[in-house]
Chains A and B, each alone.
Chain A
Amino acid sequence: MQAQHEIENAMPAASDKLNIESIRRDFPILNLKVHGRQLVYLDNAATTQKPQVVLDAIQRYYTEQNSNVHRGVHYLSQLATREYEGARVKIQRFINAAESHEVIFTHGATEGINLIASSYGRKFVHEGDEVIISAMEHHSNIVPWQMLCEQVGAKLRIIPINEKGELLIDDLEAMINARTRLIALVHLSNALGTINPVKRVIDIAHSHDVPVLLDGAQATSHLKIDVQELDCDFYVFSGHKVCGPTGIGVLYGKSQWLESMPPFMGGGDMISSVSFEKTTYNSLPYKFEAGTPNIEGAIGLGVALDYLTGIGIDRIAEYENELLDYATEVIGSIPGVKLIGTAREKSSVLSFTLENIHPHDIGTILDQEGIAIRAGHHCAQPVMKFFNVPATARASFSFYNTKQEIDTLAEGIQRVIEVFG
C-alpha cells in the first residue's frame, strides 16, 4: 500500500533521527518554485502542507467511495460511513480520548470554540457569571466569549502574561471564584510560540470545580496530546494545521459535559425523531453534527494523523525544537532583530520585528526570495498591543523544514536590511 510505503520511508533504519529528505518527498508542494526561487515554506502556523497520502485519500474518496453517510442502505453509503467513522476512531486514538463519541467533527478550531460558547454557554453561563481566558489568545478564543458575555451579562476575565510571553499562572488562583464557569486557554500560542502550563491550570481549575477548554489549534501538530492525562474538559483543533485538509476540525469533550449540553445547530443527522410537536435529539456524537459533514475532510484528517503517528510525534517534537533553537540563534543574532515571545517553554514559532522596518515590508521582500512567512497581527491584536508593536513577522516551522531553509531566511532578512539601506 502506498500510504504504508511512504510512512516506512520516513523512518530510517536503526536511527532515531528523522530522514528529512525522504519526508520532504512526501510533500509535493515543497518542490514548488516561487518567483523563480525554490519555495521556503515557513508559514506552518497558518496552515501546514499536505503529504501525498492525504491527497491520495481525498482522491480515492471521490473516485471510489463518495456517498452520503449514515443514511443509505446501499453499498457506497455504508462504505463512506465506515471510512468516516473510522476516521473518528483514528482521532480518538491520536488524542487518547476514552470514547470515540467524545470526538465531534467541526469545520475547525473556530467552530469548536463557538460550539462550546454557544451550547455550554447557553446552559451554564448566566448573568453575573465569569469566563476566564488569557492575554495571549487567538481572536477565535476571545470573540466567541465576548459575544456570549454580552448576550447573557457575564464577565470576561483575562489571565495576564509577562514580557517573555509567559502566562502569569499565580494570578489565576485569585481570579477563580464561585461565579467562574469556564477557563478557555490556548495550549500553544500562535503569536508567541509559548507552551502554556496547561496541566497546572487544569489542576487548579478542577480544584474549584471549573472546567477547562484548551485551544489546541497549534499544539496538536507539535506536542503529544493525551486528553485523559491532561484531564481537560474540552479540546479543539483544526485539521489543516496537522497536515490534514481545510474545513475539518475536532472538538473533544468529556461525555458528561457533551451529554448535558444542548445541540449547537439543528438539522439532519442530529435528531432521532422529528414531529411538529416534539423533536428528540440524537445521541453523541451526532447531536453536535447537524447536516452532511465534511466526509473527505474527516477521512483525510484520519490519514494525516496516521502519517504523523508513523513518523512519531515525539521525534517530530524533538526535531522541531532543534529547528527552533537553531533559528533563535541564527535569526536572533542578526543586528536589529528583536524576538517577540521568549518563553522558556516554547515551540515552533519565531515572531520577530526588525528595527525601523515594518513586518509587511519584510514579508513582501522575503516573498520575492521565495520565502513564505506571515506578517501581521496573527489574529492576536491584544498580544501586539501588549508588546507595543503594530505587527510582527513570524516564521513558523514544521518537521519538513530544514536548517538550510533557516539559513535562507537569514539571508533573506539580510536582503531586507540591504533594501532599506
Chain B
Amino acid sequence: MSDISELYQQVILDHNKKPRNFRKLESANREQEGYNPLCGDQLTLYLEMDGKVIKDIGFQGSGCAISKASASMMTAAVKGKTKDEAEVLFDEFHRMVKGELDPEKEENHLGRLTILSGVREYPARVKCASLSWHTLHAALENKDEAVSTE
C-alpha cells in the first residue's frame, strides 16, 4: 500500500489551504453546479468564455482537500485554453485518476496535474478529484442541469 503522504503531497495541501481562483467571477457568462452526494462536496464553477477560449475561471464551494486542490489546480491549468484543449485535459485527467493512463509511461498534456495521480490508489477518492472536471465538462457542453458524480 502506498504511503499516505503520496496522496497528500505538499502541493495538494497548499492548494487546499490557498485555493487559486477561489472566487465568484463577476464577468462569468457560464455558471455550473457540481455535487458529490456521497461526501456532500459542492462546487460552483464560473466561466468567462471568449468564443472558444476560457478567458477566466473561478470556483466556490466546500469539499475535502482532494476535491478542493483538484478544482484549484484545474482552474490554473485551463485558464487561457480553448474548449477543445480543456476537453483533452478532462479526458486525460479522468483516465489518470482511474488508473487507465499512466502519466509516466504515456504521452499526455497533464503537466503539474500529474501530482494528483496518487488518487488512483484510493478508489473511494476518485470522485473527489474528478468532481471539478466533470463540472467543467458540463459547463463547456453548456448543460443546464447540476452535475452529480453519482
* A interface residues (Cβ-Cβ under 8 A, vs B): 35-36, 356-361, 364-365, 368, 375-377, 381, 384, 390-391, 419-421
Answer whether residue B63 sits at the interface, using C-beta atoms and an 8 A cutoff: yes
Q: List 6 A-B contacts (CB under 8 A).
A: A35-B1, A360-B39, A375-B39, A390-B41, A420-B8, A421-B13
List residues of B (85-104) whose CB comes within 8 Å of A's CBs.
Answer: none
Q: Which 4 A-B pairs have the closest CB atoms?
A: A358-B64, A360-B64, A390-B40, A391-B40
Q: How many Å lie between the Cα of A165 and that of B150 in the bound state?
A: 30
Contacts of B115 in A (CB 8 A): none
11 additional contacts, CB 8 Å, given A360-B41, A368-B4? A36-B1, A358-B63, A360-B63, A361-B8, A364-B4, A364-B125, A375-B39, A376-B39, A376-B40, A390-B63, A420-B13
Asked if A360 and B42 sit within 8 Å, CB to CB, the answer is no
Which residue of B5, B40, B63 is within 8 Å of A419 (Cβ)? B5
Q: How many Å lie between the Cα of A357 and that of B68 in the bound state?
A: 11
Contacts of B39 in A (CB 8 A): 358-360, 375-377, 390-391
Asked if A420 and B65 sit within 8 Å, CB to CB, the answer is yes
Dominant SS at the A interface? mixed
With A420-B8, A420-B13 known to touch, is A358 a contact of B42 (CB < 8 Å)? no
Q: How many Å lie between the Cα of A421 and that of B125 in the bound state?
A: 21
With A358-B63, A360-B64 known to touch, is A381 a contact of B1 (CB < 8 Å)? no
* Nearest B residue to A37, CB-CB: B1
Contacts of B64 in A (CB 8 A): 358-361
Q: How many Å lie between the Cα of A36 and that of B3 in the bound state?
A: 12
Contacts of A419 in B (CB 8 A): 4-5, 8, 13
Which residue of B13, B17, B65 is within 8 Å of A358 (Cβ)? B65
List residues of B (42-88) whose CB comes within 8 Å of A's CBs.
Answer: 42, 62-66, 68
Q: How many Å lie between the Cα of A391 and that of B39 in the bound state?
A: 7
Chain B residues touching A, range:
20 to 34
Contacts of B38 in A (CB 8 A): 376
Closest Cβ–Cβ distance, residue A241 to chain B (whole Å): 20
Contacts of A35 in B (CB 8 A): 1
Asked if B13 and A381 sit within 8 Å, CB to CB, the answer is no
Which residue of B1, B4, B63, B124 is within 8 Å of A365 (Cβ)? B4
Interface string of B13-30 (1 = CB under 8 A from A): 100010000000000000
* Nearest A residue to B7, CB-CB: A364
Q: How many Å lie between the Cα of A384 and that of B39 in the bound state?
A: 11
Closest Cβ–Cβ distance, residue A417 to chain B (whole Å): 12
Which residue of B17, B62, B122 is within 8 Å of A364 (Cβ)? B122
Answer whether residue B128 sits at the interface, using C-beta atoms and an 8 A cutoff: yes
Contacts of A357 in B (CB 8 A): 65
Closest Cβ–Cβ distance, residue A213 to chain B (whole Å): 27
* Nearest B residue to A358, CB-CB: B64
* Nearest B residue to A36, CB-CB: B1
* Nearest B residue to A369, CB-CB: B4
With A364-B124, A376-B39 known to touch, is A390 a contact of B62 (CB < 8 Å)? yes
* Nearest B residue to A356, CB-CB: B17
Contacts of A36 in B (CB 8 A): 1
Contacts of A376 in B (CB 8 A): 38-40
Q: How many Å lie between the Cα of A163 and that of B68 in the bound state?
A: 29
Q: How many Å lie between the Cα of A221 and that of B76 in the bound state?
A: 50
Q: How many Å lie between the Cα of A384 and that of B62 in the bound state?
A: 13
Which residue of A356, A368, A381, A420 is within 8 Å of B40 (Cβ)? A381
Q: How many Å lie between the Cα of A377 and that of B66 in the bound state?
A: 18
Closest Cβ–Cβ distance, residue A364 to chain B (whole Å): 6
Q: How many Å lie between the Cα of A359 and that of B125 in the bound state?
A: 12
Closest Cβ–Cβ distance, residue A15 to chain B (whole Å): 41
Contacts of B65 in A (CB 8 A): 357-358, 361, 420
Closest Cβ–Cβ distance, residue A399 to chain B (whole Å): 28
* Nearest A residue to B62, CB-CB: A390
* Nearest A residue to B14, CB-CB: A421
Asked if B41 and A368 sit within 8 Å, CB to CB, the answer is no
* Nearest B residue to A368, CB-CB: B4
Q: How many Å lie between the Cα of A376 and that of B128 in the bound state?
A: 13
Q: Which of A35, A359, A419 has the most CB of B within 10 A?
A: A419
Which residue of A359, A360, A368 is within 8 Å of B1 (Cβ)? A368
Contacts of A384 in B (CB 8 A): 40
Q: Which of B13, B41, B62, B64 has the most CB of A within 10 A?
A: B64
Closest Cβ–Cβ distance, residue B3 to chain A (whole Å): 8
